[in-house]
Chain A
Amino acid sequence: MVIHIQKIRWLFWLRWKLFTRGVVRGGAGRLIGLVVASIFLIGLGLTFAAVTYRAYQGAAPVNAEVLFLVLTVIYMLWIVLPILQVNTNEGLDLSKLSQFPLTRSELMVSLVASTLLDITTVGLIFMFAAVIAGWSSSIGLTLFTILAVFIFYIQLIAISQLILALLQPLLQSRRFRDFSVLLAVMLGFSVYLCQFAFRSIFNAGFFDNLSHAAFSPYLQWLPPGMAARAIQQASIGNWGSAFVWLVALLIISVVILYLWQLLVKQGMTQVAEANSQARSTRRQRTAQPAAVAQSTETARATQAGTVRAGTSPAPTVVAQVTGIAIKDLKYYWRDPQMKALFIRSLLSIVVLAVAIVYPQISRDRRKHTDQ
């Protein structure tokens, strides 16, 4: 575990530069956009933190059920977010550091640093602050909650980085870059649809389940559930059980950290290997059709015997228009931005159609049942 403090300092410096340049680079427009987004996200984080704090202060078992759900949602988000950010956050691209003599530990610290300077981390801090404040009824419980949250945070970073390291070759591919553009646009579009999902989730049944502790028996076997269970057990004075759950969480965290340090260097070579392999496969794939095309062309020319130098037929307008149309259609499909626009438009029509047709159908059905 060799760590050179100087290198860590400069890796932090690198991350800070990339972060600030990402903000300033796009000019005033981007800066204003980012400030607005930051205010919105921080506001959202504070609101969630305040709401969950109130819930933690509430009656059992609802308070514990909310804790289980909050930690599980955070865990899921932290697995997915870095995957979506990998193409915009240069700090997460390990292959850029591949030529430098950096130890595993230095690389791991640099990756952790890359996640620290995100707005999402600010939201996470609010949520954790709400957990600590909401569950601290004594000094002992406060210390225990801080410890549980700290171990949970370490595991959160480790699991997201482990998944990044595992998927590194895929994440660096052109196909994934295209897919992530598509996904980002779709997620933006789905905000309208999400309200329906939220309405269906947060119905009377959901709150009924909270009061009957319906989620925790399942979630407690997942790492976030273990953290929640440890805090909940400590809050009712069941310290033995609380420490057992905490130790289980710690063991899983150590295993994840171990796997991450195994894969962190492999991630760098995997990118180079994946690129070489893709190029090698492409070469093999293109070599065969090219040879076939050439032989076909030769055969055609020999058979016809009419194509002579300087006598190639003048291209017609129709051929040119068709050529441009085919090119545009290909671009339309292959450009992820355009594809996203196309799918979004299509989905808008579907949503609109459903919004118009569905009430009509349900009205007819109601009329039918009334009769």
Chain B
Amino acid sequence: MQTPGEQNRETIAVATWQLTRTFGQKIAVNNVNLQVKRGEFFGFLGPNGAGKSTTIKMLTGLMRPSAGNAYVAGIDVWQDPLKVRSLMGVLPEYLNLYERLSGREYIQFSGRMYGVPDGDIKRRTEELLAILDLTNDANKLIVDYSVGMRKKTALAAAIIHRPQVLFLDEPFEGIDPVSSRVVRNILKDLTQHGTTIFFSSHIMEVVEKMCTRVGIINQGYLVAEGTIQELRERASGEGKDATLEDVFLNVVGAVQENHNLSWLD
């Protein structure tokens, strides 16, 4: 019998089947089943420690699931990790770049590791550097880059091979508003050209503006999934004008909790 991840290879870009990960007694991700269609901009939300990064690590082949399966472009991530890696790009939460390469060198190196032809690497690198406003600093070593510049470099390295699926873990953290808009435009452009984007973020505004569908994870469980409109409708009591933040707080059960500092009274 085929699992949902193996079915509909043409339409489903990312799928998980009872994906579970435990750390000793703690269940970080618990039986998560989700499907992301090709070309979708999927937002993955959840409070700190909910299991977002663990799920992304399992989807990108960086962490082996305790149970269940993860599929990217219809391929089991742990059956054929090499094939899967060549089809996807990853911007991890904690960037682990080669500090003693320049931004330009790192992007080019990434292109070479993905097997992009030399001519394309040079052309795409210069274009990415220009659009991400990194051209002037392209020959500086990454060790001297700011957080935002590192994020942009890592993003350029993750998309240089034009991946089918792009995983982004907190891509807007540490990026200034100008760069943030540039990155958003690039991501939009990628989805318009068929790339599926799976990204986690705490910035609700960005998720609300960009995502076609959203999944919310809390304490390891996928507690809600659908379009933003569907989630609004489901989160009754918040009214029609409820923002995604209201919906999110409602779904994760954080609305009633009122934390005040006792010593301010």
Partners in one complex: yes
- In the assembled complex, 23 residue pairs joining A and B whose CB atoms fall closer than 8 Å, in A order, are A4-B115, A10-B109, A21-B141, A25-B100, A25-B141, A90-B100, A97-B113, A98-B96, A99-B60, A100-B85, A101-B113, A101-B115, A102-B113, A272-B57, A273-B64, A276-B23, A277-B24, A280-B23, A280-B28, A301-B262, A302-B262, A307-B263, A309-B264
- One digit per residue, 1 when the CB lies within 8 angstroms of any chain A CB and 0 when it does not, for chain B 236-265 equals 000000000000000000000000001111
Name the residue of chain B whose CB is nearest to the CB of A90. Answer: B98
B158 at the interface (CB under 8 A from A): yes
- One digit per residue, 1 when the CB lies within 8 angstroms of any chain B CB and 0 when it does not, for chain A 189-232 equals 00000000000000000000000000000000000000000000
A364 at the interface (CB under 8 A from B): no
Q: A21 with B26: in contact, given A100-B110, A272-B62 (CB under 8 Å)?
A: no
A17 to B105, Cβ gap below 8 A?
Answer: yes
A4 to B264, CA, bound (A): 64
A247 at the interface (CB under 8 A from B): no
A61 at the interface (CB under 8 A from B): no
Chain A interface size band reads 35 or more
In the complex, which residues 49-94 of chain A have their Cβ closer than 8 Å to any Cβ of chain B?
90, 93
A99 to B85, Cβ gap below 8 A?
Answer: yes
A322 at the interface (CB under 8 A from B): no
- One digit per residue, 1 when the CB lies within 8 angstroms of any chain A CB and 0 when it does not, for chain B 86-103 equals 100110101011111100
A186 to B134, CA, bound (A): 43
A100 to B49, Cβ gap below 8 A?
Answer: no
A154 at the interface (CB under 8 A from B): no
Q: A273 with B63: in contact, given A17-B101, A95-B96, A96-B97 (CB under 8 Å)?
A: yes
A268 at the interface (CB under 8 A from B): yes
Contacts of A294 in B (CB 8 A): 262
- One digit per residue, 1 when the CB lies within 8 angstroms of any chain B CB and 0 when it does not, for chain A 235-277 equals 0000000000000000000000000000000001100110111
B262 to A297, Cβ gap below 8 A?
Answer: yes
A10 to B100, Cβ gap below 8 A?
Answer: no
Q: A100 with B141: in contact, given A25-B100, A280-B49 (CB under 8 Å)?
A: no
A283 at the interface (CB under 8 A from B): yes
B53 at the interface (CB under 8 A from A): yes
B1 at the interface (CB under 8 A from A): no
Name the residue of chain A whose CB is nearest to the CB of B26. Answer: A280
The interface of chain B, by Cβ under 8 A from chain A, is 23-24, 26, 28, 48-49, 53-54, 57, 60-64, 82-83, 85-86, 89-90, 92, 94, 96-101, 105, 109-110, 112-115, 141, 158, 262-265
A93 to B97, CA, bound (A): 10
How many whole Å from B257's CB to the nearest CB in chain A? 13
A124 at the interface (CB under 8 A from B): no
B96 touches which one: A4, A13, A18, A96 (CB < 8 A)?
A96
A298 at the interface (CB under 8 A from B): yes
Given contacts A99-B89, A273-B63, A273-B64, 10 further A-B contacts (CB under 8 A): A6-B112, A7-B115, A21-B141, A25-B100, A99-B158, A101-B85, A102-B113, A269-B64, A301-B265, A308-B265
A228 to B259, CA, bound (A): 71
Q: A90 with B110: in contact, given A272-B63, A276-B57, A277-B23 (CB under 8 Å)?
A: no
Q: A276 with B28: in contact, given A301-B262, A301-B263 (CB under 8 Å)?
A: yes
A268 to B83, CA, bound (A): 17
B54 touches which one: A13, A100, A276 (CB < 8 A)?
A276
Number of A-B contacts (CB under 8 A): 99
A17 to B85, Cβ gap below 8 A?
Answer: no
B54 to A14, Cβ gap below 8 A?
Answer: no
Contacts of A275 in B (CB 8 A): 94
B114 to A96, Cβ gap below 8 A?
Answer: no
Contacts of B264 in A (CB 8 A): 309
A309 to B262, CA, bound (A): 11
How many whole Å from B44's CB to the nearest CB in chain A? 16
A169 at the interface (CB under 8 A from B): no
Name the residue of chain A whose CB is nearest to the CB of B108. Answer: A10
Contacts of B141 in A (CB 8 A): 21, 25
B115 to A6, Cβ gap below 8 A?
Answer: yes
Contacts of B158 in A (CB 8 A): 99
Name the residue of chain B whose CB is nearest to the CB of A95. Answer: B96
A284 at the interface (CB under 8 A from B): yes
A308 to B82, CA, bound (A): 62
B62 touches which one: A10, A269, A281 (CB < 8 A)?
A269
A17 to B99, CA, bound (A): 11
- One digit per residue, 1 when the CB lies within 8 angstroms of any chain B CB and 0 when it does not, for chain A 149-179 equals 0000000000000000000000000000000
A95 to B27, CA, bound (A): 24
Contacts of B24 in A (CB 8 A): 277
B100 touches which one: A18, A95, A272, A277 (CB < 8 A)?
A18
B98 to A298, Cβ gap below 8 A?
Answer: no
Name the residue of chain A whose CB is nearest to the CB of B158. Answer: A99
Contacts of B63 in A (CB 8 A): 269, 272-273, 276
Name the residue of chain B whose CB is nearest to the CB of A100. Answer: B113
A121 to B246, CA, bound (A): 61
Q: Which of B63, B89, B113 has the most CB of A within 10 A?
A: B113
Contacts of B26 in A (CB 8 A): 280, 284
B265 to A309, Cβ gap below 8 A?
Answer: yes
How many whole Å from A4's CB to the nearest CB in chain B? 7
How many whole Å from B30's CB to the nearest CB in chain A? 14
A310 to B119, CA, bound (A): 66
A18 touches which one: B85, B92, B98, B110 (CB < 8 A)?
B98
A96 to B109, CA, bound (A): 12
In the complex, which residues 276-299 of chain A have their Cβ closer than 8 Å to any Cβ of chain B?
276-277, 279-281, 283-284, 294, 297-298
Q: A99 with B90: in contact, given A4-B115, A6-B112, A269-B62 (CB under 8 Å)?
A: yes
